[in-house]
A and B are shown apart, each in its own frame.
Chain A
Amino acid sequence: MPRIQIAQLSHGSNVTRADGAVLRTAIEQRWNDAEPVILDFQALRIASVSFFDESVGVLAKAHGREVIAKRLRVENIDSSDRKLLNEIVSSRAREHEHATSGDSLKVLLREVGVPEDILSTWDGTLLALYQDHGAGSASLEVALRAARENAARGDWALDLGHYETALSREVGQSLKEKFDRLGVTYQTRSLAYDWQDGQRASAP
C-alpha cells in the first residue's frame, strides 16, 4: 500500500494550515491508487486542529466519511491525535452529508416540476409532502365537499412554504419513497395548519 511518512514529508512543519495543505496534496496524488493510502505518523505528535482540518478534514468535506474510510488508513498515530482527527473528520463529513442531501433533494424537487426560481429562493427549512385529503374554505360545507373530492383522486401536495403544487397519486407516492430513502425531514400535513384561520376539513 502507498505510504506517506508524515515526518519525512513535513520536515518538522506540521502545525499550520499551509502544512496541512502539503499533506493533502500528497494524499491527492495517490487518491486514485488501487489501494488505500497509509498516513504514518511515526514519532510525531501533531496537536493541531488546523493541520488535520486542512489535510484530511478538507477531503472529508469533499468526499464524505465512507470514501475517507476506504481511501485512508492511519498508523502510529498518537492516541490524542487520533481522537482529534476523528472529531474533525466526523465534523467535516457531516457537512458533506448535509450538502449532498440538500443537493439531492433539489434534484428530486426539480424532477417533479418545481421551478428553478422557487428552488433558488427556498432555504430548505419548510417542506411538506402529504396525500391531500383535506381542503380549506371559509365554509365548512364547501371544505368538506372539496376534501372528499381530493381524497377520491388520491392526489398529493408538495409545499415549500412559499410554493405549493399538486402531484398525481403515482408521482406523490414515488417522491415520498425517495424522500424516505434519502432521510429527508418533511411534514406530512399542510404547512398552512400552522397559521390558517379558516375552516379546514379532512376526509376520512
Chain B
Amino acid sequence: MPERATVAESDAVVRVCARAESHEGAVILDLRNTTFLGPLAVALLASCVALRARDGRQTSFEFPRQADPARFFSEVGLSSFAAGDSTGAGTLEVRQMATLDASYTRAVTEMLVRGVPGIDEANSYPIELCLNELLQNVFEWAESAVGCFVLARWYHKSRSVRVAVVDRGIGIPGALRRGPVKRLHSASDAELILEAVTTPRLTSRSNQVGGLGLKNVSETVLQRRGRLTVLSLSAKLSWSDENLERADVPRFGGTAIELEFRPDAPVERPYDYVPVF
C-alpha cells in the first residue's frame, strides 16, 4: 500500500485492489508503511476483501507501524472485517450494506450531534441527506453483488466530516450508457460522471422522474466549500471550490465516492422559488 492512502492517492489504492482481486490465493495487504489512511481507501480495501471473500479467497492485513494510522486502522474495523466478523454496529467502523438502512444514516448523524461541539440537529441534516442519496443511488443503480461499503468519519482539525461510499457494480458511466439519453451512450467515462454530478434531472430511469440526487449532493458539499470526489470505471473527478480536477485511473469496477465538508459552514443560498409549503 502507498505511504499515504488519502483520496488523492486513490488511484494507487485501486491498483493495489486490482492486483489483490486478480490473485487466486491468499493475500496479505501490507499497510506497515502507510502513515495516513483516508475513508475512501478504507472503503476501497473493504470492497476488495468482500469481493475476494465472495469467491472463498482469504485476505488479511499487516497493521501500519505508526501509532496514529494503526489506531485509525483498528477503529475502522478493517481487520475484523477481513476476518469475517460483523462490523459497523458502531458507526466508527466501515460497514457493508446490502440494503438502504435509514437507521444507519440516522445513527451517524446522531453520533455527530452528541459527540461534536457545534454540530446540532439542523447542521447535521446535510450529512444525513448526502448519505441517504449516495446509498439510494447504489441500491437503485449499481447492481453491486457485494452491496456497498460506507465509512463516515469526523476530523477535529478541519472540523469536517468525510463520508466514503464504495460499490462494486456497473459504475455511473455504465448506468447512464444504458439509459434513455442517447447522446450519452458514446460519451467518455469522465464526461458521464461530469454529467451525472452537474446536470439536474439527468437519470437512467426511463419515462420516470429522477436525477436530482447526485446533483443535490454536489450542491450540498460545494456550497459549504467542501470537496467531492467521484471515481468510477476509468475516470476520477474531484470538485472543490471552483475547481474541477480530472484524472484517468486504473479501471475500477464500480463507483467510489468521497465527500468532505464542514456541516456548520455558512451557506449563502439564494432561494429561486416561492415556497409551496
Interface residues in chain A, defined as those with a beta carbon under 8 Å from any beta carbon in chain B: 12-17, 45, 47-50, 53-54, 57-58, 60-61, 65, 68-69, 72-74, 77-80, 82, 84-93, 95
Contacts and interface: CB of A to CB of B under 8 A. Distances in A.
Interface of B: 100, 102-103, 105-106, 121-122, 125, 128-129, 132-133, 135-136, 139-140, 200-201, 209-210, 212-213, 216, 271-277
Contacts of A14: 102
B217 to A, nearest CB: 8
A90 to B, nearest CB: 3
B140 to A, nearest CB: 6
Given A12-B102, A91-B200, A82 B277 contact: yes
B209 A50 contact: no
Contacts of A92: 209
Contact of A45 (B103, B128, B139, B213): B128
B276 A69 contact: yes
A53 to B, nearest CB: 5
Contacts of A60: 276
Contacts of A54: 209
Given A89-B277, A91-B200, A15 B102 contact: yes
A21 B103 CA distance: 20
A98 to B, nearest CB: 11
24 contacts: A12-B103, A15-B105, A16-B100, A16-B139, A17-B136, A17-B210, A47-B128, A48-B129, A48-B136, A50-B136, A50-B140, A53-B209, A60-B276, A68-B276, A74-B277, A80-B122, A82-B275, A86-B277, A87-B271, A90-B274, A90-B275, A91-B201, A91-B273, A95-B201
B102 A91 contact: no
A48 B276 contact: no
Contacts of B271: 87
Contacts of B106: 45
